Structure 1
Amino acid sequence: MNSLVVSLLTFAAIFGGALLGIGLARVLPAPHLNTETRTAVSVSMAVVGTLAALVLGLMITTASSAFSARSNAIDTLAVDIAKLDRILSRLGPGASSIREDLRSYAKAKAEELAAVVDKRDIALRNLTVLEGISDQVSQLSAEDARFRHNQSQALLLVDSIADARWRLVEDASISIPLPFLIIVIFWLSLLFASFGLFAPNNATVVIALFLCAVAISGGIFLILELGTPTRGFIRASVEPLQLMIKDLSN
């Protein structure tokens, strides 16, 4: 789902609820707006507000965890590629072509992760290149115990890079069910309708409710953006991988 569209619809629903409450306050009979009614509605809305706050907090935590997991996977991938290149350099001239393939893989992987659209064909090509690197390392002729040790370490790092690749695929996004999101927005709209119902009818109140609606819809926008770090306006940075590529080129 498009996070910007959802956040705009959220704003419309929440601020619309506030305006509905202000409008109802003008037409409802006085007994419906007395102190006893205000107390009953306030207590009821306190339960709804608490529930909405807990759910929003959980959504923010989940989305933030997904974003952090992808960022950490990119960092791990960059470190493992740098380590692998260093170990390959210790395997001698026979591994020079493997190091070139590794540099090509790193550049292609950075382009894949930086792409806004889903490029599954590029991801599959990169996986094939990585598997080819693993095969080339396995086929190197062991010269001594030191060489065999470095060779085994290189294979372990290739496996670690492959694991990071799958983590990047699995942690690509979180899915927030549409009915769940609709219910949360309904809670917030109901809450703001109660605010408008008993609030003084003046410009200051309307502006305050407007800004609060903007803030909450902005929070929904952040949740959806952090939950989909592979696309949208807020994306996990591939800068660690790009900096590592510059180091490999030096």
Structure 2
Amino acid sequence: MSSTAAFLASFVSILIGAALGVLVKRTLPAAPLGTGSKQAIRLGAGFLSTLAALVIGLMIASAKNTYDSHNTNIRQLGTHAVLVDQLLAQYGSEAKAARTLLRDIIPSATSRIWQENASGKGGASAVVVSDMAERFYNAVEGLKPANAKQTSLKSRITQLSAEMGRTRLLVFTQGDDGIPLPFFVVLVFWLVVIFASFSLFAEPNLIVVASTLVLALSVSSALFLIVDLNQPFQGLMQISNHHLHVVLPKIE
């Protein structure tokens, strides 16, 4: 579910709920909407409003956690790439081929991460190592240490390269939508009921209509931001991939 679809669905649903409240008010005679009935409906709407506020708070926390997790993994991927490159540079000229391949796989992996997470088509393809990445791993494994220093460097390079692969897999495996559709539908239904109860006792004048529109827009905007934050590889608040493209210096 895209953030735009979430905004439109919630905004239209809330307005429909408000219109239903006005329709019910005009249909029912005045007697059923006496003081006791109004008090009961207001208490129920108040309870539902509190429950909806708690759920929205949980959704915000979940979306922020998803965003932060992906952002941390992306930055960790860049950090590991820099460390591997520095270790390869210390290893010597024998590692130049591996350094060149590293500069090719980082932009390629970045594009793949953004494309497959944005389209939701990660799936089994996420665990498949690309030909370029396989050549890089083979180049690292093919290094022949000539002394203790190179032996230690190769061990650290191999370990960090494995961490790079693990981090990339984490980005894909954590890419599932953190806000299930039934959860969102139930929340929107609650909002429809709440706004219907608001308009049930209000006279449909210009101020009430304008206020309803502003409130519906505000609530829908909040849901838009939550869903957009929960999709960090697309939308307005997507994670920037610029630093991954420029993280490695040119080989001298």
TM-score (norm 2): 0.88
Deviation at 1:243, TM superposition (A): 2.9
The SS at the match of 1:90 is helix
Question: Structure 2 counterpart of 1:216, which letter?
Answer: V
Deviation at 1:44, TM superposition (A): 0.9
Deviation at 1:97, TM superposition (A): 0.5
| 1:186 alignment counterpart | 189
| 1:222 alignment counterpart | 225
| 2:37 alignment counterpart | 37
The SS at the match of 2:247 is helix
Question: Structure 1 counterpart of 2:232, which letter?
Answer: P
Q: For residues 26 and 249 of structure 1, do their structure 2 counterparts lie closer, same or farther at Cα, with a shift above 3 Å needed?
A: farther
**Aligned equivalents of 1:78, 1:203: Cα separation in 2:** 55
**Aligned equivalents of 1:123, 1:197: Cα separation in 2:** 52
Superposed counterparts of 1:158-173, under 5 Å: 158-173=161-176
| 1:80 alignment counterpart | 80
Conserved? CA contact 1:112–1:123, under 8 Å: no
| 2:49 alignment counterpart | 49
Q: For residues 114 and 14 of structure 1, do their structure 2 counterparts lie closer, same or farther at Cα, with a shift above 3 Å needed?
A: same
Q: For residues 63 and 192 of structure 1, do their structure 2 counterparts lie closer, same or farther at Cα, with a shift above 3 Å needed?
A: same
Conserved? CA contact 1:41–1:194, under 8 Å: yes
Conserved? CA contact 1:14–1:188, under 8 Å: yes
**Aligned equivalents of 2:130, 2:67: Cα separation in 1:** 23
Q: For residues 144 and 128 of structure 1, do their structure 2 counterparts lie closer, same or farther at Cα, with a shift above 3 Å needed?
A: same
| 2:96 alignment counterpart | 96
Conserved? CA contact 2:80–2:164, under 8 Å: yes
**Unaligned 5+ runs, structure 1:** none
| 2:109 alignment counterpart | 109
Deviation at 1:72, TM superposition (A): 1.0
Q: For residues 84 and 248 of structure 1, do their structure 2 counterparts lie closer, same or farther at Cα, with a shift above 3 Å needed?
A: farther
The SS at the match of 1:201 is coil
Q: What is the number of equivalent residue pairs in this alignment?
A: 249
Deviation digits for residues 13-36 of structure 1 (CA, Å, limit 9, x no counterpart) = 111111221232233322333332
TM-score (norm 1): 0.89
Conserved? CA contact 1:109–1:126, under 8 Å: no
Conserved? CA contact 2:126–2:172, under 8 Å: no
Deviation at 1:40, TM superposition (A): 1.2
Question: Structure 1 counterpart of 2:76, which letter?
Answer: T
Deviation at 1:82, TM superposition (A): 0.7
Q: For residues 200 and 249 of structure 1, do their structure 2 counterparts lie closer, same or farther at Cα, with a shift above 3 Å needed?
A: farther
| 2:205 alignment counterpart | 202
Q: Among the aligned pairs, what percent are the same residue?
A: 29
Deviation digits for residues 24-67 of structure 1 (CA, Å, limit 9, x no counterpart) = 22333223333322211111111111111111211221122111
**Unaligned 5+ runs, structure 2:** none
Conserved? CA contact 2:62–2:178, under 8 Å: no
Conserved? CA contact 1:172–1:229, under 8 Å: no
**Aligned equivalents of 1:249, 1:119: Cα separation in 2:** 34
**Aligned equivalents of 2:250, 2:167: Cα separation in 1:** 19
Deviation at 1:118, TM superposition (A): 5.9
**Aligned equivalents of 2:45, 2:223: Cα separation in 1:** 20
Deviation at 1:109, TM superposition (A): 1.7
Alignment RMSD (CA, Å): 2.3
